[in-house]
Structure 1
Amino acid sequence: MLKEEIELFREAIKGAKELKQNTVVAPRGKNLKKKLMIRDVREQEDTLFFFSDEYEPLLNDESAVKYLREGEDKHLLKQLRRGDFSPEIFLDLHGLTREESKAELAALIRACEKEHIYCASIMTGYGTFTLKRQIPRWLVQHPRVRALHQAPKEWGGEAAILILLDT
């Protein structure tokens, strides 16, 4: 039966030309680092897109800084205020300009997303209160921010903000 199959095969390919491999296929370029850098820059630009300086959310400037995304459990704010969530990552913005702070904030959110971090602490300091007022206004615009609250004393008190993220 094997001989019959071979004969049948030869009959089927009768008149076919033999191919010669005389070309070399170049290996794919190693642009992985460049692609990763471009992707990181695009992700940062995408994240910075959410931080508008003109947007004025309804935040009470006189009381503790707090925000809860629509549809979230109101108990989250109480948990943040009490310190039930421990921040897994800290960002210190002391001495940075508004633009530097905005870029660092975007990088923090991106890092939290990549590392699956749910709670972060942002140290704004006291200073001129510029960052302390602006940081919450930026954060409430980002779709990954579920809630934010002024940190309890053990995580920085009035000079820090705890944020809870979707990741």
Structure 2
Amino acid sequence: MSERSPAPGGLALLQSLVNTLDLDGGADRLDTPEGRAEFGIDAAGLPAARALRESLRAALLAHAGRPPHRAVAPLGELLAGAPLLVAVDARDGSAALAPADAGPLLCRVAAAVAEALVAGTWTRLKACEAADCHWAYYDRSPAGRGRWCTMRVCGARAKMRRYRARAG
């Protein structure tokens, strides 16, 4: 599905993590050493990374006004284990939240969520409402009411189903 573009800033990490699992095809990039290396995790960290991914997906579904597709650990509970520090730039006095330890995936995700909250972009990262997709996408629509990762595929399928239901 091609019109998907990366989310801005740290949200790109979250988008990429959620999109490691293709629900339609069943392929999971975290099953490969290359996929795990992309997020700095090893085989031992795989269960925690998958739990984090599904908690993120549930939050992104909530951003789109949809319930999660299954019960998962609340994202806030997972992120509570990732301490953040206030980093102040000595040159211009600007401040930002930064992970206390920039290595672990959980800390990087927590920092990305904090950055997005400050920037006002957190709720624009959503999961596609198509049940066989739930792909993470950044909603660039003016009103912030996007429902599908791509209109050409998921949106077109949903509209065609509704049309057929009315016509049939």
TM over 0.5: no
Q: TM-score, normalised by structure 2?
A: 0.23
Bigger share in helix = 2
Bigger share in strand = 1
Q: TM-score, normalised by structure 1?
A: 0.23
